[in-house]
Amino acid sequence: MKDRTRVSDRVAQISKSAIHEMTRLSKEVDDVAFLSWAKPTSDTPQHIKDGAIAAIKKGLVGGYSENAGLLKLREEIVRKLKRDNNINANPAQILVTVGAIEGLSAAVMALIDPGDEVILPSPTYSTHIRQVVIASGKPVLVPSIEEEGFIWDIDGVKKAITGKTRAIMYCSPSNPTGTVFDEKQLRQLAEIALENNLTVITDEAYEYFVFDGHKHFSIASIPEMRKNVVSCYTFTKTYAMTGWRIGYLHADEELIPQITKAHIPFAICAPVVSQYAALAALEGPQDCVVDFRDHYFSARNVMCERLDRLDSIFEYHKPGGSYLMFPKILLNEGRDSAAFCKKLLREARVSTTPGIAFGPTGQSHLRLSFCVSDKEIHKAFDRMESYFK
């Protein structure tokens, strides 16, 4: 019999991540201009590192914390949720997680039975789709309205609901489109969730990076939604803490022990050293967040100006948030976004992410990250301008 590695059907059906594939291919290209990663390129601010170093020196980080996370950290998170998200919480409604990702995975595991349907917009963050698949749920992708800047198609959501629908999952501001779902749409979504007893799982990773007067709205701030939302947050983007792997979620007090049952086999608790760093982030000055936002705002404008000069190749919506955008490729060869991005990498030495990685309606698009220096943006666009000439 043939010797082959056996894996579960759950895992076998997950395709390779296009983002990681592009990263791998980019390494083979000399002096590549890199617009593929949705990861802050700044280092973690010093006062946050100092908080972690002090905790290490005091011998506080060698053991586990409570599964839900350090009480002091959860108390600070409660203050932050009140101040910035208009959510009235208490520490029993908070679970500190290994980044937003583990919080989202634990929430999906706690809520979704095999065969349950989860509605997501398309395009959306590919990891969300995988999280549903790993839980043996069925992702149901509702195409966003691209002409209006990739907003929710509320009628499309209503039509997608069946007896098996259990949850709606989204990120706002969005990866990959940069769309900020506004309060009006999210209130409509909340009504649908309440009428059909669905749980809304949110990923608010980019909550602080909104521009042009857009406002980040947390659906959990609607009091009637108290029992119908799990909101996931992270320190990764806000404080440039990607590698610390620290985030948290907020949910109803009755749901937290259930999500914790899923959190323990994945993580036991979030890394304790990172919990102290997160505490320093919340207790310390917040100027770094404003600085990051200002930088992304200016980088977005630079990228849009450069895209304007390539208007026969790309058409785009100015992103209202995040540090990502999702231009449409106007050339015929863009219809296969993976082939297009690979060719652009090989022939123009510019690394981007194919739109197909973010759902079927992502085809004919590519994702560009502007969480890079202006120099990197100019390098990439100088190359694309000569390439498409």
Ligand X SMILES: Cc1ncc(COP(=O)(O)O)c(C=O)c1O
Confirm or reject binding of residue 99 to ligand X (CB under 6 A): yes
Q: In angstroms, give the least distance from the CB of 266 to ligand X.
A: 12
Q: In angstroms, give the least distance from the CB of 380 to ligand X.
A: 19
Among 205, 256, 282, 299, binds ligand X (CB under 6 A): 205
- Give the interface segment with ligand X, choosing from 96-104, 303-311, 313-321, 334-342 (CB under 6 A): 96-104
d(CA 251, CA 77): 13
Confirm or reject binding of residue 180 to ligand X (CB under 6 A): no
Distances (CA, A) of 92 to 139, 206, 249, 261: 30, 24, 11, 14
Q: Residue 378, class by beta-carbon neighbours within 10 Å (0-12 exposed, 13-18 middle, 19+ buried)?
A: middle
Confirm or reject binding of residue 22 to ligand X (CB under 6 A): no
Among 33, 38, 106, 344, binds ligand X (CB under 6 A): 38
Q: Which residues of 140-155 are buried (b: 16+ CB within 10 A; e: fewer)?
A: bbbebebeebbbbbbe
> Kind of pairing, strands 366-369 and 324-325?
antiparallel
Q: Select 77 or 205, whichever has its Cβ closest to ligand X.
A: 205
- Give the interface segment with ligand X, choosing from 54-62, 87-95, 97-105, 191-199 (CB under 6 A): 97-105
Q: Select 289 or 384, whichever has its Cβ closest to ligand X.
A: 289
Contact code string over 61-90 relative to ligand X, x by CB under 6 A: ------------------------------
Q: Sheet of 138-143: strands edge to edge?
A: 94-97, 247-250, 229-234, 199-203, 165-171, 117-122, 138-143
- Give the interface segment with ligand X, choosing from 43-51, 94-102, 213-221, 223-231 (CB under 6 A): 94-102
**Which residues does 361 contact at the CB level (< 8 Å), separation at least 6?**
122, 123, 141, 143, 144, 146
Can you tell me whether residue 246 is helix, strand or coil?
coil
Among 36, 93, 172, 234, binds ligand X (CB under 6 A): 234
Q: In angstroms, give the least distance from the CB of 237 to ligand X.
A: 7
Among 203, 222, 252, 327, binds ligand X (CB under 6 A): 203
Q: Select 26 or 242, whichever has its Cβ closest to ligand X.
A: 242
Q: Select 125 or 152, whichever has its Cβ closest to ligand X.
A: 125
Site for ligand X (CB under 6 A): how many residues? 13
d(CA 107, CA 174): 19
Confirm or reject binding of residue 129 to ligand X (CB under 6 A): no
Long-range Cβ pairs for the range 187-195 (8 Å, 24+): 187/222, 188/152, 188/154, 189/152, 189/154, 189/157, 189/219, 190/219, 190/222, 190/224, 190/225, 190/228, 192/154, 192/157, 192/158, 192/161, 192/168, 193/168, 193/225, 193/228, 194/224, 194/225, 194/228
- Give the interface segment with ligand X, choosing from 22-30, 48-56, 151-159, 234-242 (CB under 6 A): 234-242
Q: Which two tokens stand for residue 24?
A: 């791998």
Among 51, 105, 106, 125, binds ligand X (CB under 6 A): 125
Confirm or reject binding of residue 275 to ligand X (CB under 6 A): no
Q: Residue 315, class by beta-carbon neighbours within 10 Å (0-12 exposed, 13-18 middle, 19+ buried)?
A: middle
d(CA 353, CA 133): 22
Q: In angstroms, give the least distance from the CB of 39 to ligand X.
A: 6
Confirm or reject binding of residue 119 to ligand X (CB under 6 A): no
Confirm or reject binding of residue 95 to ligand X (CB under 6 A): no
Q: Select 41 or 196, whichever has its Cβ closest to ligand X.
A: 41
Cβ pair 30, 349 in contact under 8 A: yes
Site for ligand X in 244-273 (CB under 6 A): 247
Tell which residue, 300, 296, 351, has the closest CA to residue 325.
Answer: 300
Nearest residue by C-beta to ligand X?
99
Q: In angstroms, give the least distance from the CB of 358 to ligand X.
A: 11
| Residue ranges that bind ligand X, judged by CB under 6 A | 38, 99-101, 125, 171, 175, 203, 205, 234, 236, 242, 247
